[in-house]
Structure 1
Amino acid sequence: MMASIQKRPNGSWRARYRDDEGKEHARHFDRKIDGQRWLDGVTAGMVTGTYVSPAAGKVTLTAFYLIWAERQVWETGTRRAMDLSVRSCSFEGVELRALKRSHVESWIKAMSAAGLAPLTIHGRVRNVRSVLRAAVRDRALSVDPSEGVSLPRKRRADMAMDIPTPEDVRRLYDGAEDWFRPVVALAAFAGLRLGEVNGLQLADINFLPRTISVLRQVQRTPGMAIEIRSPKYGSERVIPVADSLLLILSAHVENVGVYGDDNWILPGRDGGPIWPRTIAYHWDRLTARLDLNGVRLHDLRHFYASGLIASGCDVVTVQRALGHRSASVTLNTYSHLWPNADDRTRSASQSLMDGALAIPADSLRTAGA
């Protein structure tokens, strides 16, 4: 960096420097020492990588986001969530150079006061933080003001997750209309997401190898009817499935049939796939009729995951079956369902006693009767 300080005819001092792009920046000071301190700060910023050019810092958060977002390879849903997060941000119009931690804290406080769920607040802050970190990397912002801010506590996974009982699932399956039963079965016994159920075609059901290929999902987007694209997080996968599920699907194909030239499993519209809101409408009717209003379709995916874990499947197996982008996502979501050290110790001890003493568990319960 080229820098200098010169005294002007009026007695003030002119400090100037050229940045890495050759642009000159200057400021005037009454005292030489103040000019030198300013240049020292600029030099330190360039050395540590926190330097921000005056012009870059004048850009607002929204202005930076709109330019940065155009360079990102996002799915439609991701762009929609990012747009919403930035629009809802109370400091979207503030210049980057003026952003402070207090801006972020006030925004979080306002969202909490408005009654937004902690999970929603975490998601919006995470999205805006990704923009702020991008601004730091582009040297439009010296530090991320959202770093280390306090967020409202999320519910523990084991308390927030509602897993239907086998009896609930049986009632939902038995109570569903014939054409709707595959929705219940695919979610509960293959872990498919709503959009993935909508996107299933006959060719995706592999009867001989006993697998289902998840190759697409159907999503409704604002301003559009529906969009057919790859599964969430690019989670195309092949799921080994039970013979009983294949029998259900086979009976559905024979008795209800498939739809359109692409042989959609569920009846759609104009030769295309079924709309997500159609599924949601019939799901709400089904749960209301059975007095299971609190059960969401996505809860059947949790039911499937819990069954895999209870059967001894490892993290990677569950991750692949559910189409999670990483094993850490699976652990963050379902770690409370895996047996802990106490459970394993207790089970091992019981096995030792069963083998050595042949004491049936029932005798322990009736010994004091």
Structure 2
Amino acid sequence: MASIKQRSDGTWRARYRDDAGKEHARHFTLKRDAQRWLDEIAAAVVTGQYVDPKAGRITWDEWTARWMERQSWAAGTYEAATVAVKSVPWRESAIAGIKSSHIQAWVAGESKRGLAPSTIKTRLNYIQMSFRAAVADKLIVASPALGVKAPRGRKAEAAMRIMTADEVLAMLDAAGDFRGFVEVCVFAGLRLGEAAGLQLRDVNFLGRSLTVARQVQGATIKTARIVPPKYESERTVYVPDELMASLAAHVKRQQVTDQDEQLFVTPLGRLWNRNNAAEEWRRIRAATGLSDGVTLHTLRHTFASNLIAQGCDVVTVQRALGHSTPSITLNVYSHLWPSAEDRTRSATASFMTQIRNSADSVRIETEKPQVRGSR
């Protein structure tokens, strides 16, 4: 129900009731402006875009807390989202008052602080998700984060570091008791948490395979815990005899006998986590003279690079790495596969070689001396 009525002071009062029966009103100098406002409200209702003007008064902190409570995220995802939504400067502002320029300025500020473009992109993704949810819940008409872009990162071919065979050898020599952990990262492509989560039951010595069925999540001894692997990352990785032999020696040396026992633990018997594993890796890196850009995750890139170099297709690499879709694998490693130009050039070269060999055979046949019969 809507109406327009002139007040004693000459202004026009336009009012309407929403579906919940709540009354909304505004005052205008001209009647036509009041009518235009009601028409806009009516059009928004018809098109499903109507939003209660007061709904957007909820603050960013209040809204994101409510939004995150109803997500069925893994603990790591929840932690990353929490860091993202609390990194913004508008936490006490009403979400209806947050503008696109505010978000773009936040992106620029994060970049100036030295955060990696990939980190800013991840945080922006959570910000955009929360605004989309606010639109879906009819708190705001449109997302101010729509169209906001994170800073561009370096191209994959320039940013990705692949270790050489000599570097891998030097790293393994310097690894000491951490060698088995490093080997499953570089020769099986396991993530840090997946390697830390391996148990004796996950090693199939006869089948020459490793099963990724869990991971260690958390950055400290206090927060580290065993949880299921990342979404669609549970998998079986087929590995060579040499890795099986090395793991068998590790199991014997460390006296790992219980099937539920962790394959790799710290010297104090604790779970490896992001912090203490990174600290051990820095020791190895210093001993071998590797640059700071070489991280434990570089071992996973090196594993993927070798699969591609040996001619493995996208799906094979995807499954070995535990990516949920082939597109993720291509987004990260497409530059390592031969390009269409390379394949065309190689195929044509093979064809030309085949023709040249045929031509040489024909020429040899025609140039053979004719043997005349004796009289």
State the TM-score, normalizing by the size of structure 2: 0.88
Equivalence for 1:290: 288
Q: Which residue of 1 aligns with 2:55?
A: 56
Residue 132 in structure 1 maps to residue 131 in structure 2:
yes
Uncovered stretches (5+) of structure 1, i.e. residues with no partner: 360-369
1:186 corresponding residue in structure 2: 184
Q: Secondary structure at the match of 1:54?
A: coil
Letter in 2 for 1:200: L
Aligned to 1:206: 204
| Aligned residue runs from structure 1 range 48-127, under 5 A | 48-127=47-126
The letter for the 2-side match of 1:148 is: G
Aligned CA distance change for structure 1 residues 272 and 121 (closer, same or farther; 3 Å): closer
- Secondary structure (helix, strand or coil) at the match of 2:86 reads helix
Q: What secondary structure does 2:132 align onto?
A: helix
Amino acid at match of 1:309: I
| Mapped contact 1:210–1:246 kept (Cα < 8 A) | yes
Distance 1:244 1:188 in 2: 13
Whole-angstrom CA distance in 1 between matches of 2:174 and 2:113: 39
Mapped contact 1:264–1:272 kept (Cα < 8 A): no
Matches within 5 A, 1:252-271: 252-258=250-256, 262-268=260-266
- Larger CA deviation: 304-313 vs 195-204: 304-313
Q: Detail structure 1 runs of 4+ shifted over 6 Å in the superposition.
A: none
What letter matches 2:201 in structure 1?
Answer: A
1:42 and 2:41 equivalent? yes
Measure how far apart 1:272 and its partner are.
Answer: 5.5
In structure 2, relative to structure 1, the CA distance for the partners of 1:228 and 1:99 (3 Å cut) is same
TM-score normalised to the size of structure 1? 0.90
Alpha-carbon separation, structure 1, partners of 2:208 and 2:353? 37
Following superposition, the deviation at residue 36 of structure 1 comes to 1.2
Secondary structure of 1:228 counterpart: strand
The answer as to whether partners of 2:199 and 2:263 remain within 8 angstroms in 1 is yes
- Confirm whether residue 170 of structure 1 aligns to residue 173 of structure 2: no
Residues 62-103 of structure 1: per-residue CA shift (max 9 Å, x gap)? 211110110001112211211111111122222122222211
Match of 1:251 among 241, 249, 252: 249
1:97 aligned partner, one-letter code: A
Match in the other structure for 1:363: none
**Contact kept? 1:260, 1:272, Cα under 8 Å:** no
Structure 1 partner of 2:271: 273
| Pairing partner for 2:240 from 232, 242, 245 | 242
The SS at the match of 1:28 is: strand
Larger Rg: 2
- Residue 150 of structure 1: how far off its partner (Å): 4.0
Letter of the structure 1 residue corresponding to residue 224 of structure 2: I
Q: SS at 1:190's partner residue?
A: coil
Give % identity: 48
The runs of 5 or more residues in structure 2 that have no matched partner are: 359-375
> C-alpha distance in 1, partners of 2:13/2:78?
46
For the residue of structure 1 that corresponds to 2:210, the secondary structure is strand
Is contact 1:221–1:227 with CA below 8 Å preserved after alignment?
no
Distance change in 2, residues 1:150/1:192 (3 Å)? closer
Cα 1:354–1:122 shift into 2, 3 Å? same
Number of positions where the alignment pairs a residue of Structure 1 with one of Structure 2: 357
Mark the CA change 1:259 to 1:293 in structure 2 (over 3 Å): closer, same or farther: farther
Please name the residue that 1:301 is paired with. 300
2:194 paired residue among 196, 199, 207: 196
The residue identity in structure 2 corresponding to 1:205 is V
Bigger mean CA deviation after superposition, 329-338 or 25-34: 25-34
CA distance in 1 between counterparts of 2:52 and 2:220 reads: 38
CA RMSD of aligned residues (A): 2.2
Partner Cα distance (1:259, 1:288) in 2: 33
Matched position secondary structure for 1:45 = helix
* Partner secondary structure for residue 233 of structure 1: coil
In terms of mean alpha carbon deviation, does 42-51 or 241-250 score higher? 42-51
Q: Deviations over 1:340-367 (max 9, x none)?
A: 11111222233334444469xxxxxxxx
| CA distance in structure 2 between the aligned counterparts of 1:62 and 1:349, rounded to whole angstroms | 61
Q: Distance in 2 between matches of 1:223 and 1:270?
A: 11
Moved more, 283-292 or 222-231: 222-231
2:211 corresponds to which letter in structure 1? S
